[in-house]
Amino acid sequence: MLGSKDVGSAYANPLKSNSSTPSRSIPNRLGQWVQSASAEVWIKFLLALVGLGLAFAAALFSTVSRDAGNLWATIILASTSLVLATLVGLVTVPYLARRVAVERMRESFDYDVTRAGIVYVIVTLVIGIAALNTGNNLLYIVVAAMLAAILVSGVVSAWVLRWLELDVRLPEHVFAGRPVAGRIVLHNPRRYLPSFSIRVVSTRKKRKKLTKQWKWEATTFAFPFNRPVDQQWLRLPDRRLRRVTVVPPPPGIFQGMAYFPFVPPQAELSADLELSFEQRGRYREDSFGLATRFPFAFLTKTRHVSLPREVLVYPRIEPTTEVFEILPLVRGEWESFVRGRGSELYRIREYTPEDSARHVDWKATAKSGSLKVREFAREDERKLCISFDNPEPGLISERAYEKAVDLTASLAWHFSNHEAEVSFAIPGRPRTRDLHEFLAWLAVVEPGMIEPQKSAPARDAVLEMNQGAPDEYNIMVTARPRGSLPTALWNSSYFVFVDEDATFKGPSE
């Protein structure tokens, strides 16, 4: 195993919500409108009423002035009325319209007709045609009842979904390839009305193939065309329309479904959902859907709930073949580096003139017939630094790069459980002792992401990570050639070399 600590304990953390408040709908509609309306909205609304009232009064007085034959008063009053109405229309009406549009978007619904609904509509049409041809009043009543059922289905399903409160709680630490449990909490704040057959689904559109679409791109119009930039006479900002390839978005957080058959009034129900992420990286879900087919399953009505959630997935820390091959070698090199004076016995060896007589092991000496001394580990200097030398783009294949990141995360997780001072280093960033901070960086790292200078020598980036801690033993995963590494670090470092074929080699290979 990778360490004495159970790997499951890292991602079986208490579930938490990524935002301070869940997405909720106040049960009282009037109370929701009053609470969401700020003082600015009320002021603009009252000013709009006052402005329209003044415009209407000015228009009335302009009519009276015209009948009285007062030309200048008519012109002034009519102009004032027109200016006031224009100001209200330009300043207040668009603002209030946007507020109404936002409120409508929060309560937006999607409708999908089910197979049962299609069959029901066809049967209704057939009965309606028969009623028109025969003039049978009973058939008219049946058709009216069937159409009323469709209307009732739409109204009831909307009432079932409205005002429900949704919260999605996700674990704090997630590793790629390890299933974790998320929790979906659904609350019905209504006092009397329950909800039936509620499903929590993802609203992300599924796109599996690459698609082409037209897109405007910023460019520069230059004349003459084929001359260098400094020799062109005219350069103006321009835009051009190009057909680009749209890559399908990465999978979101929520791929499954949580089902709540019955949510009583003023009750809160929760459902655990197993989540799995195959790749490291940042996963985000901007909204979730509350869907229902209640009461007649004619339509699947989905209410969109704006609820941003984000998960940072750490690299894999599974014990692979490469990890089992590297760990014994690294331990041996590290223990050789840290041997010295301390309270923990390291080994018993032959006596040398430099050794103190108080470290002589008389029992081992009596058994072997030669003078033996005890050697202890330097517990006060058991320092270890794990480094990831981020390669430049194109230096190794994508598969090899991902395996190198996973190996670095596995080594960091393993040695963080040892009784030593473990630190972590990456090019261009300060050294850290926080394991999760290091794993969070590895979750989003890309080739050449934080390389200080691409033109800088390779040994400069390696020496940068070793500065300030010469007594530490370094474990570095790198894709650099052996000749580019400084020889001064070979005695205090263990280099793991990554090849393009996703294979790892130690310093002796």
Domain co-membership, 252 together with 172: yes
> Is-contact 406 399, C-beta < 8 A?
no
Calculate helix-pair angle for 398-415, 321-338, nearest 10 degrees: 50
Altogether, the residues listed in the chain come to a count of 509
Query: CA-CA distance, 119 to 122, in Å (whole number)?
Result: 5
pLDDT category of residue 484 using cuts at 50, 70 and 90: low
* pLDDT of residue 452 exceeding 90: no
**pLDDT at residue 36, rounded to an integer:** 46
C-alpha torsion angle, residues 223, 229, 233, 238 (rounded to 10) = 50
Establish if 253 belongs to a structural domain: yes
Domain co-membership, 256 together with 365: no
pLDDT category of residue 263 using cuts at 50, 70 and 90: very high
Of 62, 91, 106, the residue at which a domain comes to its end is: 106
**pLDDT at residue 383, rounded to an integer:** 75
Query: CA-CA distance, 440 to 16, in Å (whole number)?
Result: 18
Domain co-membership, 264 together with 304: yes
Three-class secondary structure assignment of 303-370: EEEEEEEEEEEECCCCCCHHHHHHHHHHHHHHHHHHEECCCEEEEEEECCCCCCHHHECHHHHHHHCC
Lowest-confidence region among 10-14, 278-282, 380-384, 470-474: 10-14
User: Whole-number mean pLDDT of the chain?
Assistant: 76
At 129-171, the pLDDT tens digits run 888 888 888 888 999 999 899 888 888 888 899 889 999 998 8
At 65-103, the pLDDT tens digits run 888 888 888 888 888 888 888 887 777 766 666 665 555
Which residues lie closer than 8 Å to 102 by C-beta, 6 or more apart? Answer: none
Establish if 358 belongs to a structural domain: yes
> Is-contact 294 197, C-beta < 8 A?
yes
Domain co-membership, 480 together with 370: no
Domain co-membership, 172 together with 101: no
pLDDT category of residue 59 using cuts at 50, 70 and 90: confident
Q: Burial of 397 by CB count in 10 Å (0-12 exposed, 13-18 middle, 19+ buried)?
A: middle
pLDDT category of residue 270 using cuts at 50, 70 and 90: very high
Domain co-membership, 325 together with 452: yes
Beta-bridge partner residues of 385? 423, 474
Q: What is the CATH number of the domain that holds 330?
A: 3.40.50
Establish if 146 belongs to a structural domain: no
Establish if 493 belongs to a structural domain: yes
Of 78, 106, 134, the residue at which a domain comes to its end is: 106
Establish if 7 belongs to a structural domain: no
Domain co-membership, 301 together with 325: no
Domain co-membership, 282 together with 360: no
Establish if 287 belongs to a structural domain: yes
pTM for the complete prediction?
Answer: 0.63
Nearest to 309 by CA among 189, 207, 184, 206: 184
Please tell me what DSSP assigns to residue 91: I
Burial 67-105 (b: 16+ CB within 10 A, else e): eeeeeeebeebbebbeebbeebeeebeeeeeebeeeeee
Q: What average pLDDT does this structure show over 470-483? A: 73
Domain co-membership, 293 together with 436: no
Domain co-membership, 426 together with 328: yes
Domain co-membership, 394 together with 471: yes
Establish if 349 belongs to a structural domain: yes
**pLDDT at residue 11, rounded to an integer:** 40
Domain that holds residue 49: 37-106
Compute how many other C-beta atoms are within 10 angstroms of the C-beta atom of residue 204: 19
Q: What average pLDDT does this structure show over 278-302? A: 88
Q: What is the CATH number of the domain that holds 205?
A: 2.60.40.10
Q: How many structural domains is the chain composed of?
A: 4
Residue 499 or 138, more confident: 138
Q: What average pLDDT does this structure show over 440-457? A: 67
Most confident of 46-60, 282-296, 440-454: 282-296
Compute how many other C-beta atoms are within 10 angstroms of the C-beta atom of residue 249: 11
At 9-31, the pLDDT tens digits run 444 445 655 544 454 443 444 34
Query: CA-CA distance, 90 to 175, in Å (whole number)?
Result: 53
Establish if 143 belongs to a structural domain: no
Of 69, 84, 106, the residue at which a domain comes to its end is: 106
Domain co-membership, 461 together with 372: no
**pLDDT at residue 199, rounded to an integer:** 93
